[in-house]
Amino acid sequence: MGQQEVYDFLKKNKRKWFTSREISAELKISVGSVTNSLKKLRQTKTILFKPTGNRNEFKYKFKR
């Protein structure tokens, strides 16, 4: 379980922004695993992200 599942989930839901908690709940994977996967995907510029306004919280979306 990991990066590929998170990537596939975002790809399948291209039009919507998700927090790491929402992705975690949908995929039934721990928040820590999702967060690590999202961090790697952010570093490779594979996904879009934006701050939510809350401290250290971001929303993620598949990059077209």
- Please report, in tens digits, the pLDDT of each residue of the chain (64 residues total): 689 999 999 999 999 999 999 999 999 999 999 999 999 999 999 999 999 999 989 999 999 7
Q: Which domain holds residue 22?
A: 3-62
Pairing of strands 47-51, 18-19: unpaired
Output the pLDDT for position 2: 82
Please tell me the predicted confidence (pLDDT) of residue 1: 65
What is the count of structural domains for the chain?
A: 1
31 touches 24 (CB < 8 A) = yes
End-to-end CA distance of the chain: 23
Do 27 and 34 meet the contact criterion of CB atoms below 8 Å apart? yes
Q: Residue 26: which CATH number?
A: 1.10.10.10
DSSP class per residue in 20-46: HHHHHHHHT--HHHHHHHHHHHHHTT-
